[in-house]
Structure formats: C-alpha cells, structure tokens
C-alpha cells in the first residue's frame, strides 16, 4: 500500500538536487616549472594562451606566491580542470621550445572551504570520464591518490581504492609502474592527465574527501625509462 503525504502527515520531500562542483569543492592547486632563464615569460605567456582559448570559463582562478588555485564553479568541473591543466602544460612546453617543464598538481574533491569538510556520502555525484584531444606531447608522471576515510573504511580500505585505481589505469592503456610511495605513469600528456583525473573522480563518487597529487614532466633530458 502506498502512502501519500496527507496520510503520513509529512510534507512531500523534494528529490535532493545534485550537488554542483562548487558545493562539492572540485578544484586543484597547480604550479608550472619551466627549467629556463625565461621562466617568467613562459609561465605568463602560457596562462594567456589558455585564457585566449576560452579554457578559464566556469573556473575561479587565484594565484599566490607558491601556486595557483583553480576551482570549478560550473559542471562538468573535472573536465574543465583536466582541459585547463593539459592546455597549460602544452603551452608552457611550446613556449619553452620543447624544453624541460614540470607541473605539480594537487586535485581535491570534498573540502569546499579552506578548512571545512562536512560532506556526507549521500548525494555525491559521479563524473563522466574526461575527454582530452591527444597533443602528441610525451609525458612521464609521479602519481599518488589519497582517499581520506574516517570511520567508514575498514582494514585496508584506503589501499583497496588505490589498488583498484592502478588496475584501471593499466587497463586504460597508460604505462604504469610501481614506485615507493607513488605510481609512475607514462604516455601522451592527455592520456596521463585523463588517467589521474578519472581515478580521482571515481573514488570521489563514494568517498567524500579525496585528493590526488600528480607531478608531470615533459621535455626532460633524462632518458625515459621504458617499462610497464
């Protein structure tokens, strides 16, 4: 037998609206390091390129003296962050004539404010896999993923999320190798960025607070270590 609001005496509950990226706190901090005397010109030029390409739409951007905060305000947040990141590294590489550029990125989901983290596991939306156009820029990366569980895990819970993410990355075709404390990824820059962003968003659909760190290296004079 179905009950109506009038029968139970409760007002009808509206379906909860899906949380937007600003409410979830979908964003990143990033820094770009061109290994050249011209680093200021390369960084400022690359930021202009990304802006001119319309890739700052739906994002809030604030720079301090260590890194730049990029927060998504309009869905799809994960896609906007991934596009911005891949385009910025590509532009910095081009503007330094293919020289050595490293970017360090912290992607965070679930702490909308600077300190508060009070999301619950309800109403956490997933995210579609990001789509990035391959740019034919080979990249190697050091990647780590941190599901920040509290009492909701169980023994080994955070490592099982990490192991699942690594297995998925391997299936997706990016070159994956274990390292102490991190995983090495290698492939086209677009593929490496998509792998890390998708894994982070996938964990974020069930774990309220999740962070991933990615150190991206392009144009290094160190020979790339071929391995899987």
Question: Of these, 21, 34, 58, 219, which contacts a copy of itself (CB under 8 A)?
Answer: 34
Query: Hey, what are 159's tokens?
Result: 């490592």
Contact flag: residue 69 with a copy of itself (CB under 8 A): yes
Size of interface with a copy of itself, in residues (CB under 8 A): 63
Out of 1, 11, 14, 114, point to the residue binding a copy of itself (CB under 8 A): 114
Backbone angles phi, psi at 78, to 5 degrees: -60, -40
Cβ–Cβ under 8 Å, residues 84 and 59: yes
For residue 70, the surrounding DSSP H or E stretch is strand 68-72
Q: How far is the CB of 31 from a copy of itself (least distance, A)?
A: 6
CB of 36 to a copy of itself, least distance (A): 6
Cβ contact 188:172 at 8 Å: no
Q: Is 206 in the site for a copy of itself (CB under 8 A)?
A: no
Using CB under 8 A, pick the residue from 3, 37, 54, 171 that binds a copy of itself.
37
- CA-CA distance, 86 to 133, in Å (whole number)? 9
| DSSP H helices in 53-156 | 77-95
Q: Nearest distance from residue 165's CB to a copy of itself, in Å?
A: 12
Q: Whole-number minimum distance, CB 75 to a copy of itself, in Å?
A: 19
Distance separating alpha carbons of residues 178 and 184, to the nearest angstrom: 6
CA nearest neighbour of 198 among 160, 172, 159:
172
The binding site for a copy of itself (CB under 8 A) comprises 27-29, 31, 33-37, 39-40, 62, 64-67, 69, 71, 100, 102, 104, 106, 108, 111, 114-115, 117, 140-142, 144, 146-159, 163, 178-182, 184, 209, 211, 213, 215, 217, 220-225
């Amino acid at each position: 037998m179905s009950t109506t609001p009038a029968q139970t005496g409760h007002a009808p509950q509206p379906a909860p609206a899906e949380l937007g990226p600003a409410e979830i706190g979908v964003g990143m901090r990033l820094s770009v390091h061109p290994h050249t005397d011209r680093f200021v010109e390369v960084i400022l030029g690359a930021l202009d390129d990304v802006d001119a390409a319309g890739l700052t739409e739906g994002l809030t951007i604030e720079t301090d003296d260590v890194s730049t905060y990029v927060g998504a305000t309009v869905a799809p947040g994960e896609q906007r962050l991934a596009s911005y990141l891949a385009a910025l590294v590509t532009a910095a590489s081009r503007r330094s004539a293919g020289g050595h550029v490293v970017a360090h990125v912290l992607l965070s989901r679930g702490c909308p404010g600077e300190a508060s983290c009070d999301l619950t596991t309800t109403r956490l939306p997933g995210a579609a896999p990001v789509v990035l156009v391959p740019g034919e820029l080979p990249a190697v990366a050091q990647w780590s993923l941190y599901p920040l569980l509290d009492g909701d895990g169980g023994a080994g819970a955070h490592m099982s999320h990490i192991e699942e993410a690594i297995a998925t990355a391997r299936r997706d075709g990016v070159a994956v190798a274990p390292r102490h404390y991190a995983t090495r990824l290698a492939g086209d820059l677009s593929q490496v960025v998509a792998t890390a962003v998708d894994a982070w968003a996938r964990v974020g659909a069930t774990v309220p607070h999740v962070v991933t760190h990615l150190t991206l290296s392009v144009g290094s004079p160190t020979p790339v270590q071929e391995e899987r």
